[in-house]
Structure 1
Amino acid sequence: MFYYLIRKLLFLIDPEKAHFLTLKYLKIEKIQLFNFFRTFRKPLKEIKCMGLIFKNKLGAAAGIDKNGEYIEALSEMGFGFIEVGTVTPLPQIGNPKPRIFRIVSMEGIINRMGFNNLGIDNLIKNIKKSNFKGIIGVNIGKNKNTSIENAINDYLICIEKIYIYASYIAINISSPNTISLRNLQYGILFQNLLKKIKKKQRELQKKYFKYVPIAIKISPDLSKKELIIIAKQLIKYKIDAVIATNTTLDHSSVSGLKNSLEQGGLSGLPLQKKSTDIILILSKILKRKIPIIGVGGINSIASAKEKILSGATLIQIYSGLVYHGPKLVRRIIHHI
């Protein structure tokens, strides 16, 4: 109940400011008002995925901590792993504000952030400063001004720089808020991307004597035919995992509600079924050859279990945390 009282206050201000303030207070241990975010827990069963050992199945999704400034604060909430980013080679301010919009009655969020971040070098500094010893995934993307034809170079730059600091690397080619980015999921662009990042991975493995898994984050707006093609390519190039899914451009489930006409990717409860359906399809095609990290609309123990029963090995939350608070993290990790 305490979180929902605080949420009422947070929901009176701009969503991006509320997000920033919440993370700031999480980081300041002396402020007792926000001690309810600290969810101490009993030891849980570990799980192996991508050759890594995760302390539990629930992770913080990319977007919560874009620049790796709150890794330790998030770890105290109980997450089994933390994915930071999306980060790009160069800093960029993202799209004009306002760029986050709540759809409260449906527990949804529309965002058009546009990969706002302080750049890969700044992220590396923050990871190096962190005392967190758990699994850190780094979600990478291309800069806005990089053409789609040259986009692969941005990913290779980020992979080379972050390789020795990341537990795994997530390739974001599915955000709807960077022009033409989703084109990288198709045809020769997709094949070239997979081919070159795997080549880079092999080179860096030899250089550092360390294997860092690579995951591909895909869109929920793909057809079954497109998913089949993608899955076959993931298997062919021995990609380590697939993250399903990013936000959706389909706003039909929130039609007529306040903010529903805002441009951007829709997340939260309206995405729940769509992302689960993608996981089901992928699971049937991949047949456990490649693990699935399920994300999209997890707002309860039941929805977390549904993602896992549909074929996800690991799961992540973001919007559910906004609407239900840290207690949701504790409840999920104790019941899955």
Structure 2
Amino acid sequence: MPIPYALVRRLLFALDAERAHRATISALKLGLAGARPPKGNPVEVAGVRFANPVGLAAGFDKDAEAVDALLGLGFGFVEIGGVTPKPQPGNPKPRVFRLTGDQAVINRYGLNSAGAEAVARNLEKRRKPGVVGVNLGANKESEDRIGDYAECLKVIGPLVDFATVNVSSPNTPGLRALQDRAALTGIFERLHAAQSGGRAIPLFLKVAPDLSDADIDDIAEAAPEIGVAALVVSNTTIARPNSLTSPHAQETGGLSGAPLMGPSTDLLRRFHEKLDGRVPLIGVGGILSGADAKAKIDAGAAAVQIYSGLVYRGPELVGECVEALAQA
């Protein structure tokens, strides 16, 4: 019988945030989190059938170390990564901070990754069914970041069900510049070409919450034309709301958790209005309850993903969200 998360949380919060994260991955690999068979109503997004509409966002299991255990918690789908072609250590530590009073997290990991080949080997060890996607990243020092996305897709694409293009991490210098229309067109042309002649998986695009009105218009107009199968809204934010009370509030990096719920849901709603069903949406950012998950669906999402909410609520959040959406 799994240990109640209220007790586990006390133990994890006695560690710094990154060590707690690593301890969680280790516990999952050992089967200590237990299993909760997926429930809820299946949903199809971009031709991929999720067991239920509640997924795990990228960033939690970067190297695909605990995919089977995570699916066993009741997630309808799991997104691994971000994955870069070559291994890279990411930014110096400390690089992740809990804002406990704000139910938030700031991270500046910098796409630390074991590299595409190592992640592929981990995926090949899977023993249980379930939908898995990969978040494609680029190496920090790469001179051809578009080529990095294509390389990752060639290596990992045959082992997953969808791939998400990550041009919205705030922790890799210059990466968000790839969100403009010309850059996105080049990226998706290259990725579609990389899949020609073989098994092609749907390509999703994850956007930042800090987009200008012009950016939103450009992406909404371009997405159906360049073959974006689904839009993931959104990544972490570089904004710092005045409501933050934590002493870590001004740390550099991407802010996630409760303060992101409002801005990311507003952005989701705007994309829903502009796309009018032409591209399905996945809502991410600030989900800490079943009601939050439902708010994302009400704003136009076909499915949702959670991550930072798990820090504060634990695996019980998965079931609560699945149940809330099953009753919606």
SS of the aligned residue for 2:82 comes to: strand
SS of the aligned residue for 2:19 comes to: helix
Q: Check whether the contact 1:198–1:237 (CA below 8 A) recurs between aligned residues.
A: no
SS of the aligned residue for 2:86 comes to: coil
1:167 is aligned to 161
User: Which runs of no fewer than 5 residues in structure 1 stay unpaired?
Assistant: none
Amino acid at match of 1:157: E
Number of aligned positions between the proteins: 323
2:146 is aligned to 152
Give the whole-Å Cα distance in 2 for the aligned partners of 1:179 and 1:42: 38
1:313 is aligned to 302
Give the whole-Å Cα distance in 1 for the aligned partners of 2:128 and 2:4: 28
1:63 is aligned to 59
Q: Check whether the contact 1:41–1:330 (CA below 8 A) recurs between aligned residues.
A: no
CA RMSD between the two structures: 1.4
TM-score normalised to structure 1 length: 0.93
1:50 is aligned to 46
SS of the aligned residue for 1:267 comes to: strand
Pair 253,41 (structure 1): closer, same or farther in 2 beyond 3 Å? farther
Give the whole-Å Cα distance in 2 for the aligned partners of 1:123 and 1:215: 19
* Percent of aligned pairs with the same amino acid: 39
2:104 is aligned to 108
User: Which runs of no fewer than 5 residues in structure 2 stay unpaired?
Assistant: none
Q: Check whether the contact 2:56–2:305 (CA below 8 A) recurs between aligned residues.
A: yes
Q: Does 1:191 align with 2:185?
A: yes
2:131 to 125, 135, 152: 135
Alpha-carbon deviation of 1:12? 1.6
TM-score normalised to structure 2 length: 0.95
2:213 is aligned to 224
SS of the aligned residue for 1:252 comes to: coil
Pair 335,187 (structure 1): closer, same or farther in 2 beyond 3 Å? closer
Q: Check whether the contact 2:181–2:222 (CA below 8 A) recurs between aligned residues.
A: no
2:262 is aligned to 273
2:231 is aligned to 242
SS of the aligned residue for 2:55 comes to: strand
Q: Check whether the contact 1:39–1:330 (CA below 8 A) recurs between aligned residues.
A: no
What is the CA deviation profile of residues 184-218 of structure 1, one whole-angstrom value per residue up to 9, with x for unaligned ones?
A: 001422221222223333x1xx23xx330000111
Alpha-carbon deviation of 1:11? 0.9
Give the whole-Å Cα distance in 1 for the aligned partners of 2:16 and 2:320: 28
Amino acid at match of 1:110: I
Give the whole-Å Cα distance in 2 for the aligned partners of 1:46 and 1:281: 25
Give the whole-Å Cα distance in 2 for the aligned partners of 1:260 and 1:42: 36
What is the CA deviation profile of residues 137-163 of structure 1, one whole-angstrom value per residue up to 9, with x for unaligned ones?
A: 00011001113xx21111111111122
Pair 256,56 (structure 1): closer, same or farther in 2 beyond 3 Å? closer
